[in-house]
Chains A and B, each alone.
Chain A
Amino acid sequence: MFDVYVPSSFDDALKFLSREGHKTTIISHGTDLLPRIRAGELRPEVLLDLSGFDDLLRYIREDGECIRIGALTTVTDIYESPALNGPLEAFKHAAKKFGGPQIRNMATIGGNVGAASSSEDFIPILLALNAKAKLTSVNGDRILSIERLILDKGVIARRSNEIITEIFFKKPPENAWTAFDKIGRRNAMFIALVNMAVYLHVENGRIKDVRIALNRVKRKIPERAYETEKFLKGKIFTNEVLEGAKEVLERELKLTSDFRASAEYRVEVQKALLKRLLTYCYNKIRRVKVE
């Protein structure tokens, strides 16, 4: 069906892509790719196997103001990382509800971003953190925000000679927190009907900064809810403001129904998630005990 190219070194992988990139599909751990090939959705000619580059691309590093995550870092690595705790708790929230344990041991963050669909749970978190991707080719590194990287369902702004090698973002400042949740039909092994990630920064009770990303806003890919963010920014964090934000979100969302769920249902759940996640972050920032 397809050929696999096993590169002898990372350099070799980059050279291979610069020659054969136009007909090559990258494979990390295959949890997204292989089921889709099997279902006949994709018919790749050649797969470039990255799975041998653990030593190079599997890490979570604190680097001054930044956190850097190598593309081959697995969901289990993320779940167990002390660096992705506290204010970056959204990662744990997503990792905990991600597939089952075996999938978590395999699924990589590079593959999550590469798959680029509304069922990829790390994308909203990375959007809420204003994260960037490092794309590496024989010509060197190129940096692109996750927002600009994700173009459409399953389509990313990667040039055919590039590999996503790293995801990085700034550590949240004091008085900021992140949270994530997803809702599906059962408690394990499910594709999110809706998911949401929020980043909240509050000073003296006032919302200094807020970023909200959902698996669907206007299109069928994860996006930011900019209007809702704008409404919230600068306001004092009160219940009334949260209720107001829910209305803005409802107006902002342009969802369509599909076989998984109706648009009406999705909107109601997103509104509830918005309030729940913002409140969670707010309480964490104020060090109120929350479960």
Chain B
Amino acid sequence: MSKHFITLKVNGKEYNIYVNSDDRLIDVLRDKLGLKSVKEGCGTGDCGLCTVLVNGVPVLSCLTLAVQARNKEILTLEGLGSEEKLHPIQEAFREAHAVQCGFCTPAMILIAKALLDRNQNPSYDEIREAISGTLCRCTGYYGVVEAIKLASERMKNEG
């Protein structure tokens, strides 16, 4: 099987690595780059938990071949905030009780980021629509929606 020498741009860093033809993006992010925030739920595109941003757009890393992500800008949760200073969306998730088991949280936060980058002032309907492809089995979504609303208000005020 052929290997590919590719450049992955993840969280602002460039990685020049070998990937196998059939490596999925999720496996390379988790196993080669150690970015364990990327979660695998179903592996078939139904649950949304493996969402990462590719060129700012939420896509599923379980249905993307690593080689197809060559030269694109990839953002995972590790690229947002830091342990000392959380990103405002992360703060809002904490405050609005949007996290229970936490398994869907990385995907939800990245989706919120993509949404707020495009739309500073999303309506509740737009927020629900944005997260409609991502399953959460704990929160009932209520806290997630509130958190994204809260983040939008704070980020707007901060300009």
Contacts and interface: CB of A to CB of B under 8 A. Distances in A.
B45 A4 contact: no
Contact of A102 (B1, B60, B65): B60
Contacts of B68: 27, 29-30, 49, 51-52
A30 B130 CA distance: 21
Interface in B13-61: 21-22, 24, 43-46, 48, 51, 57-60
Count chain A CB atoms within 10 A of each CB in B63, B67, B130 and give the residue with the most. B63
Interface residues of B, number: 28
A128 to B, nearest CB: 26
Contacts of A105: 57-59
Contact of A103 (B1, B2, B45): B45
A27 B66 CA distance: 13
B121 interface: no
B134 interface: yes
A118 B74 CA distance: 34
Interface of B: 1-2, 4, 21-22, 24, 43-46, 48, 51, 57-60, 63-65, 67-68, 70, 111, 129-130, 132-134
15 contacts: A1-B22, A4-B67, A29-B68, A31-B45, A34-B24, A39-B44, A49-B65, A99-B45, A100-B48, A102-B45, A102-B133, A103-B60, A105-B57, A105-B59, A106-B59
Interface of A: 1-6, 27, 29-31, 34-35, 38-39, 47, 49, 51-52, 76, 99-103, 105-106, 188-189
